[in-house]
């Protein structure tokens, strides 16, 4: 891969454009195989799988191809007066050979979306998919083998030990989507080589329902976002904090919504997925007895099925309130004062997303100003990650760095500064010995850098 990058092919915009278009074509050709694999690994419903995985990547490619040449242009910058006559430009250059580590919950989207950005920026890319989604991994290997020249993009399968060895190599950038604990391990390994990292992690994303919220809309949108992919989504609302005056109405609205979405027996619904494996199943099942089950609670170990579950009044100190749930269990808590709630949320680790349902602009402004998170959605959940024009990423334990759209291009780009000065004029003021008093220098600096 180092040799391929040194050959210079990836610096050519036509080469990048051709590679992205070829990737889109081969994804289209392998669509059926991908859908089968996503169902085999995660029992993803066909429409959900296409929209949240394949469709996302295809629209990323189309958007990137349309915008890439503009993003890749060098930009002129005015040099300081004291350096003139001179010219200055910023050149977007590829970082080199980058490593992208993907998770199991959206195994195609969360590996190939950053791949699109890295290719647009002109890099060679090593992909490491999760070993926990083996059928999808097989199809992705076939796509990579068909779409790219050897050395341009490489996909390496294997377990956690393979990933550990990869992050110890001297890559030019490492991009991880995964858990906070894995993020710490990757960052520690990357530090040995001073390799920059982008970490897209998780966290407990709270969802607040204010007294003036439209409960029917709130219930539908929260239920959709929470139980998408059987709750195995990093930006899903982890728990709901509903105003005390609305608690019973909200619980009834959630129950009615879940029956509308998945019927009286969600196990028979073709629109509801399954838990990844036995370990995850047992972990999530353990949350079911930590509060009052308002709806759901059914499990089937053989099918790795846990019903969409609403859990009211979880007991203080319960692990469901401390750990990222990452499954189809929705705790519902109450609050009375928004300012007190925001203060309490401020003591928690910064989440990847935070949500509010309220029609009051004043409440919305208080909520945004008084909270911290990677992203915010008001009167919605999850969809803040959809617009290509918005950056996506976390803060602190929920991650570092941003991608999507132009922000993805920036993530994998080295913005190189180039200054060209004339040698025909060479004033001696910058050279020793000092020729003017310091107070004169200060006045000159204030004039040159005035606003």
Quick check: is 379 in a domain? Answer: yes
* 451 residues of the chain, pLDDT tens digit each: 999 999 999 999 999 999 999 999 999 999 999 999 999 999 999 999 999 999 999 999 999 999 999 999 999 999 887 788 999 999 999 999 999 999 999 999 999 999 999 999 999 999 999 999 999 999 999 999 999 999 999 999 999 999 999 999 999 999 999 999 999 999 999 999 999 999 999 889 999 999 999 999 999 999 999 999 999 999 999 999 999 999 999 999 999 999 999 999 999 999 999 999 999 999 999 999 999 999 999 999 999 999 999 999 999 889 999 999 999 999 999 999 999 999 999 999 999 999 999 999 999 999 999 999 999 999 999 999 999 999 999 999 999 999 999 999 999 999 999 999 998 988 888 889 998 999 998 988 888 777 5
236 and 192 within one domain: no
| 211 lies in the same domain as 158 | no
Q: Are residue 44 and residue 89 in the same domain, yes or no? A: yes
CB atoms within 10 A of CB 429: 11
Write down the pLDDT at residue 77: 94
Task: Answer yes or no: do 275 and 353 share one domain.
Answer: yes
Q: Looking at the structure, tell me whether residues 88 and 211 fall in a common domain.
A: no
Residue 160 is assigned to a structural domain of this protein: yes
Residue 14 in any domain: the answer is yes
- DSSP letter for 79, please: P
Q: Are 147 and 266 part of one and the same domain?
A: no
Please give the distance of CA 370 from its chain centroid, rounded to a whole number.
23
Give the list of residues 6+ apart from residue 445 with CB closer than 8 angstroms, or none: none
CATH number at residue 75: 3.40.605.10
Contact (CB, 8 A) for 50 and 56: no
DSSP string, 316-384: TT-GGGTS---SSEEEEEEES-HHHHHHHHTTSPPPSEEEEE-S-HHHHHHHHHT---SEEEES-SSGG
- Kindly state the DSSP code that residue 50 receives in the 8-state scheme: I
Q: Are 183 and 229 within one domain?
A: no
Contact (Cβ atoms closer than 8 angstroms) between residue 380 and residue 390:
no
User: Is 268 part of a structural domain of the chain?
Assistant: yes
Residue 78 Ramachandran class (φ > 0 left, ψ -120 to 50 alpha, else beta): beta
CATH number, domain containing residue 369 = 3.40.309.10
Please identify every residue annotated as catalytic: 200, 234
What is the number of H-type helices and E-type strands within the chain? 16, 18
**pTM summary value:** 0.95
- Answer for the pair 115, 19: CB distance below 8 angstroms, yes or no: no
Please provide residue 294's backbone torsions phi and psi, each rounded to the nearest 5 degrees: -85, -35
Show Cβ contacts of residue 99 under 8 Å, excluding neighbours closer than 6 positions: 125, 126, 128, 166, 167, 169, 171, 173, 174, 175
424 belongs to a structural domain: no
49 in a structural domain: yes
pLDDT at position 227, please?
Answer: 98
Residue 430 φ then ψ, to 5°: -85, -10
Residue 368, domain member (yes or no)? yes
Asked whether residue 92 falls in the same domain as residue 135, the answer is yes
* Residue 267 lies inside a defined structural domain of this protein: yes
For residues 315 and 188, membership in a common domain is answered with no
> Number of folded domains in the chain?
2
- pLDDT at position 451 is 54
- 247 and 313 in a single domain? The answer is yes
Regarding whether 310 and 188 lie in a shared domain, the answer is no
Burial of 395 (0-12, 13-18, 19+ CB in 10 A): middle
Domain region containing 210:
206-391
One domain, residues 121 and 214: no
Question: 390-397: long-range contacts (C-beta < 8 A, 24 or more apart)?
Answer: 392/200, 393/198, 393/200, 394/199, 394/200, 394/201, 394/202, 394/203, 394/350, 394/351, 394/352, 395/350, 396/349, 396/350, 397/180, 397/201, 397/203, 397/349, 397/350
Residue 435, SS3? coil
């Amino acid at each position: 891969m180092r040799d391929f990058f040194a050959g210079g092919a990836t610096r050519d915009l036509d080469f990048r454009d051709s590679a992205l278009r070829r990737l889109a074509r081969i994804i289209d050709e392998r669509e059926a195989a991908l859908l089968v694999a996503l169902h085999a690994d995660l029992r993803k419903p066909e429409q959900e799988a296409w929209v949240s995985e394949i469709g996302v990547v295809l629209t990323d490619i189309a958007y990137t191809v349309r915008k890439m040449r503009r993003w890749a242009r060098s930009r002129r910058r005015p040099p300081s007066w004291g350096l003139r006559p001179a010219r200055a430009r910023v050149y977007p250059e590829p970082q080199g050979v980058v490593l992208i580590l993907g998770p199991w919950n959206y195994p195609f989207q969360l590996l190939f979306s950053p791949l699109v950005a890295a290719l647009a920026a002109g890099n060679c890319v090593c992909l490491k998919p999760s070993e926990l989604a083996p059928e999808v991994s097989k199809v992705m290997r076939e796509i990579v083998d068909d779409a790219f020249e050897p050395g341009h993009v490489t996909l390496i399968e294997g377990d956690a030990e393979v990933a550990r060895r990869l992050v110890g190599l001297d890559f030019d950038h490492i991009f991880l989507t995964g858990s906070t604990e894995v993020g710490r391990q990757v960052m520690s390994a990357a530090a040995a080589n001073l390799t920059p990292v982008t970490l897209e992690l998780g966290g407990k994303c709270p969802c607040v329902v204010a007294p003036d919220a439209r409960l029917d809309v709130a219930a539908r949108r929260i239920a959709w976002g929470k139980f998408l992919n059987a709750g195995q989504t990093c930006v899903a609302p982890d728990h709901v904090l509903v105003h005390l005056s609305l608690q019973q109405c909200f619980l009834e609205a959630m129950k009615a919504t879940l029956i509308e979405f998945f019927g009286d027996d969600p196990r028979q619904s073709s629109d509801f997925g399954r838990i990844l494996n036995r370990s995850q199943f047992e972990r999530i099942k353990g949350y079911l007895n930590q509060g009052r089950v308002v709806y759901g609670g059914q499990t089937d170990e053989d099918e790795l099925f846990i019903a969409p579950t609403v859990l009211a009044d979880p007991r203080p100190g319960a692990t469901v309130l401390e750990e990222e749930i990452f499954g189809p269990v929705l705790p519902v808590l109450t609050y009375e004062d928004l300012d007190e709630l925001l203060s309490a949320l401020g003591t928690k680790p910064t989440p990847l997303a935070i949500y509010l349902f309220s029609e009051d602009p004043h409440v919305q402004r208080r909520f945004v100003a008084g909270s911290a998170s990677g992203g915010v959605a008001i009167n919605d959940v999850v969809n803040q990650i959809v617009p290509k024009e918005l950056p996506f990423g976390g803060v602190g334990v929920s991650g570092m760095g941003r991608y999507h759209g132009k922000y993805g291009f920036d993530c994998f780009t080295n913005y190189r500064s180039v200054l060209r000065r004339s040698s025909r004029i060479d004033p001696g003021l910058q050279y020793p010995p000092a020729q003017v008093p310091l107070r004169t220098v200060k006045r000159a600096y204030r004039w040159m850098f005035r606003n």
